[in-house]
Amino acid sequence: MKKIIFSILFLMTIMTTIEAQNPFFAKYKTPYETPPFDKIKNEHYEPAIDKAIKEHQNEINRITMVRSMATFENTIIALEESGKLLSKVTSVFYNLLSSESNDEMMQIAQNIQPKLSVHSNEITLNEALFKRVKAVYDKRYESNLTPEQIRLVEKTYQGFENSGATLTGKDRETYKELSSKLSQLSLMFGQNSLKENNKYEMLLTDEADLAGLPQMIKDAAAAKAKAKGKEGWVFDLSAPSYIAFMKYSSRRDLREKLYMAYTTQCAAGGEFDNRENVKQIAQTRLEIAKLLGYPDYASYVLRNKMAKDKEHVYGLLDDLFKAYAVAAREDVKMVEGFAVGMEGKGIELMPWDWSYYSEKLKDARYSVNDELVRPYFELENVKKGVFGLATDLYGITFRKNTKIQVYHPEVEAFDVLDEKGQFLAVLYTDFHPREGKRQGAWMSEYKGQYVEKGVDSRPHVTIVMNFTRPTETEPALLTFNEVETFLHEFGHALHGILTKCTYETLSGTNVLHDFVELPSQIMENWLTEKEYLDKFAVHYKTGEKIPAELVQKLIDAANFNAGYLCYRQLSFGYLDMAWHTLNEPYTGDVIAFEHKAMNKTALLPVVESAAMSPSFGHIFSGGYAAGYYGYKWAEVLDADAFALFKKTGIFNKETAESFRKNVLERGNTEEPMSLYVKFRGQEPTVDALLERNGIKR
């Protein structure tokens, strides 16, 4: 018996020691309690998540065991404040899974996803808990609650309703199985995309293969080859590498090679093929929707969006399709004509030709291209310009804080201070591509904003991008589109930084998906304003301001190919809706389905084996399923909103303050259209967008 007791005590001592060494189990002794990335190891995640799940379940049990009548405080607030350890762990893990991943982390993700799915279902399908939530929901207007409290009750109830809480009997078990399956499929889809993207490289060893490429692009490719221990120049599928090669390479055969690699990602066989995952994800979503009483997944999702239903989504897409039809076809006709003139012979314009010839036409027409403007967009100056815009509009400032731990040497952390010098938020910035970081650009949070016991707990926000790297001889010089992307993600960051809400569920970017892009897309508008560019766009060698004539060329070129680009976005929206308005499982060929869905917007010959769906992370592993239309929806909003800035002055303090108070600070505390009208004084129309793009004059 003594041996048994000793063994138990010894085991308990070991477990206590292990827990003591896990940074997630202690209060972070860091500035603003930011994650201590230097102490967090891969082996810490699973034990922390296991403990956090148990802790969260105990908190849920305490809510359901309360004998008194369900109230806002003992049910909704208790639920809102539960699961903090779990959020603490998963926010770090999933952010790093996107920006600093490796094989071990991917395996951990595979291990923890089923546990998290089961745990989520055990909460949302907890009958006793839902009964209490519904009791508060049913009496929300009779309980002397504030509008923000009523909103929290409604969003909490909707969350349960959306997750199958109204189901009974076998349907509940079916929902659990389907939601767990969907989580695993989405995770596998994303991991396959990252691995396939990392796997590909095009090594060039003959300098003749670099024809047409600017020196900076060649230097970057040489640096990439050197880093891999290879001789020559390496091009891959990361945005700076791929986009530059497609724009400037005069080697049509190599453009085709790289294009085919890009557009057949996860669609050409092999271990990372996602075509079956695409069908399984679409089918599982359809099964969930039907189980909950909806004919298709889009109908299930859209009822809680600004658009409300698929008819309104298709109405927007179709209206823009018609409005931009002439411009889109004219864009293609002009680029085709230019290509023929440039080559001195007939040429069938293929997708791998578009970027090359359209860039040449743009340069010929406006005498402006990426390489001409890059010297004025040195990254450090751009950072000052982007941060400075927030200072001009909202009075906030950014102070680098080297005491805050970061997860990679390239990452920087900033204290964000309000106009009185008071702390507002932490902002992390991560600019360059590397192995282990997924493609694209995004904003996220390590910690959201909320008020607890009268204390405003401020957010920790991150923006992650894949911009042109510095070379051995040049600093990081960005393209116009990269600066635009920076402003876009920074707009999301401001939405998270400036929020002033009581409840984290409603704060910051936790808004309807077709509203979330307004704060980001409106920021892009300043980039063609000379008054703004003059503040930071200076030549990195001479310090001279960007010339007025070059700014005018940027303005003149702003609508170049606006019709083509609109059709490109519409094609993604139509594809997304096609997958999510299915009312029967699709068992056919994924590529054939895609081509049919996008056929009406096709402006160039369709390449038979090219496909977007198998790597379309936004809708198959992100949060934009039946929601990609939101980019165009928000574009209508941002054009209409910026029209007010144009009318009152692009740095007008009153207009900026109204946007801050009515949009950026309010999160999801009110219906988004109501918030928009409070700022703008009217509901938006498409007129401002059509005028901005030169479609309507």
Residues 118, 121, 126, 129, CA torsion sign: positive
> If we measure between CA atoms, which residue out of 520, 541, 523 comes closest to residue 532?
523
In terms of Cβ atoms closer than 10 Å to its own Cβ (0-12, 13-18, 19+), residue 41 is exposed
Residue 398's H or E segment, with its range, is: strand 397-400
Token pair recorded at residue 58: 């105990």
Whether 617 and 355 have beta carbons less than 8 Å apart is answered as no
Which distant-in-sequence residues (6+ apart) come within 8 Å of 4 by Cβ?
A: none
**Is the distance from CB of 389 to CB of 383 less than 8 angstroms?**
no
Measured between alpha carbons, how far is 103 from 90 in angstroms, rounded to an integer? 18
Helices (DSSP H) in 345-479: which residue ranges?
Answer: 351-366, 370-373, 379-394
> How big is the chain, counted in residues?
697
- Secondary structure of 546-575 as H, E, C letters: CCHHHHHHHHHHCCCCHHHHHHHHHHHHHH
* Spatial contact of 335 and 361, defined as CB atoms under 8 Å apart: yes
CA dist., res. 202 & res. 200, Å (int):
7
User: What does each C-alpha distance from 259 to 299, 521, 635 come to in angstroms?
Assistant: 35, 28, 28
b vs e for 267-294, b when ≥16 Cβ sit within 10 Å of the residue's Cβ? bbeeebbbbebbbbbbbbbbbbbebbeb
The one-character DSSP state at 475 is -
From CA 655, how far away is CA 648, in angstroms rounded? 7
Closest CA to 627 of 313, 239, 341: 313
Question: Do residues 628 and 576 make contact, with C-beta atoms less than 8 angstroms apart?
Answer: yes
Burial class, 33, CB count within 10 angstroms (exposed 0-12 / middle 13-18 / buried 19+): middle
Q: Which residues pair with 542 in a beta bridge?
A: none
- Tokens 């390239």 correspond to 410
- Backbone torsion region of residue 277, taken as left when φ is above 0, otherwise alpha when ψ lies between -120 and 50, otherwise beta: alpha
Per-residue tokens: 543: 């310090």
**DSSP secondary structure of 663-695:** IITTTTSS-HHHHHHHHHSS---SHHHHHHTTS
Q: What are the catalytic residues?
A: 489
Two tokens, residue 383: 């950072």
Tell me the β-bridge partners of 477. Answer: 378
Amino acid identity of residue 447, one-letter, is K
The number of angstroms, rounded, from the C-alpha of 435 to the middle of its chain's C-alpha atoms is: 19
CB 518 within 8 A of CB 355: no
